[in-house]
Amino acid sequence: MDALLSRTKNAQKKLLKLSGEERNELLRRINKALKDEKNKKLILEANLIDISNAKENGISPVMVDRLTLTDSKLDKLADSVLDIVNLPDYIGEVIEEWNTPTGLNVKKVRVPFGTIAVVFESRPNVAVDITALTLKTANACVLKGGKEAINTNKALVKAMKNAISDLTDPDVITLIETTYRSATNELITKKEYIDLLIPRGSKRLIDFITQNAKVPYIETGAGNCSLYIHKDADIEKAVKVAVNAKIQRPSVCNAIENIVVDKEIANKFLPKLMEAFNGNNEFGKKIEVRGDSLVNSIIDSKPATDEDYYTEYNDYIVAIKTVDNIDSAIEFINEHSTKHSESIITEDVSAVEKFFNEIDSACVYHNASTRFTDGGEFGFGAEIGISTTKLHARGPMGLREITTYKYVINGKNGEVRK
């Protein structure tokens, strides 16, 4: 492991010598390689092995679907690399500049982290996405995928490494081929080689990282999001947002899991909501509702436990809680939330201000769906993950969020400190 990571670290130093245009050329080569018929054949064959193994191991159809690459999926993946070429080059950007009274010129300059490790599960597109985003920003990447996708990941990485090998050191892309969990255990302690670790996957994976990592990391993706229907909500907007945030794509982290409702408006709002959640919605889906006793008394629903309010269902289930006022709502949300995204529906601007100020989450919304928390929707052009920590980056992370800075200080005459 040390030898492998040391090669990656050295390769990254060579990336520093390439211009932004030269780094874009690496991405264009990767795009071409993923569209090359021979490579495609090898990648899809490897993917078939993974799919067959997955089915043999009784992996759920949803997971098999995530694992599956097709010719057209591969084409899309290749095209997404070209999209990243067209994004700005942030490396070298002078973020701030000033002169000191002591005669120095100080520049705060945007630079790459160095080596970024990403531990991810099943979806093989992550290997390509991460490679493109890190090379664009002059970072090297260390990829540790799940064992379900190991053959696909190997084939993808081999094609990408070959594609860039005459332009730079191909070890800027490093795949950890050992699929044992122990390889992850080792990787996340290698402080001398890894500058940043980003876990992408299940809550179990992320909890494991936060308990065991010795390298700097950013937690991503846990999304127990809430929608709060304030007493002065427009009911129509409330139902529209609830349907979108719960039903449009329940498996993602920015979908809502809880709805918090002011008691004062519960009698008006809940029956309208239930009408939509009973299948009368544009998606034709029914939602299972769990709620407190007031909710149970107004609409047909099951009793909710406190555990329910902490749960990220990622499914057609919602937990509803009624509260006395906005203070109770904020307290409830801050207690149960994973600090991802929360939304308030109200026509009262002072309630909005209070909610924005006191809710401790990466993204806070007014009269809009939490589903917008996304690098693409935010206009970042790319997304490396959605941070739920407060250190370094919060919410959707694009290219700038996988950079750091250094201070570059120019003296003239050998300036010294008094």
Residues at the contact surface with its own copies, assessed by CB under 8 A:
13, 16-17, 98, 100, 102, 104, 106, 113-114, 191, 195-196, 210-211, 214, 216, 218, 234, 236-238, 240-241, 243-245, 248, 345, 352, 356-358, 360-369, 371-373, 377-379, 389-392, 394-395, 404-417
Q: Which residue has the tokens 């876990």?
A: 199
C-beta closer to its own copies: residue 62 or 391: 391
Q: Parallel, antiparallel, or unpaired for β 256-262 and 317-323?
A: parallel
Q: Which residue has the tokens 């670790």?
A: 197
C-beta closer to its own copies: residue 156 or 365: 365
CB of 417 to its own copies, least distance (A): 4
CB of 380 to its own copies, least distance (A): 11
Side chain identity at residue 142, one-letter code: V
Q: Which residue has the tokens 């996957």?
A: 201
CB of 341 to its own copies, least distance (A): 9
Torsion angle (degrees, nearest 10) of CA 201, 207, 209, 214: 160
Residue 137 dihedral angles phi and psi, to the nearest 5° = -100, 20
How far is C-alpha 368 from the chain's CA centre? 20
CB of 218 to its own copies, least distance (A): 8
Contact between 92 and 406 under an 8 Å Cβ cutoff? The reply is no
Distance CA 158, CA 168 (A): 15
Contact between 8 and 115 under an 8 Å Cβ cutoff? The reply is yes
C-beta closer to its own copies: residue 159 or 241: 241
What are the residues facing 32 on neighbouring strands? Answer: none
Distance CA 415, CA 418 (A): 9
The DSSP letter of residue 304 is: P
CB of 195 to its own copies, least distance (A): 6
Distance CA 189, CA 348 (A): 49
CB of 36 to its own copies, least distance (A): 34
C-beta closer to its own copies: residue 1 or 109: 109
Q: Strand ranges (DSSP E) for 232-325?
A: 256-262, 288-291, 302-303, 317-323
C-beta closer to its own copies: residue 71 or 236: 236
CB of 334 to its own copies, least distance (A): 8
Distance CA 331, CA 310 (A): 14
CB of 33 to its own copies, least distance (A): 29
C-beta closer to its own copies: residue 32 or 380: 380
C-beta closer to its own copies: residue 112 or 170: 112
Q: Which residue has the tokens 């008094």?
A: 418
What are the residues facing 317 on neighbouring strands? Answer: 288
C-beta closer to its own copies: residue 305 or 410: 410
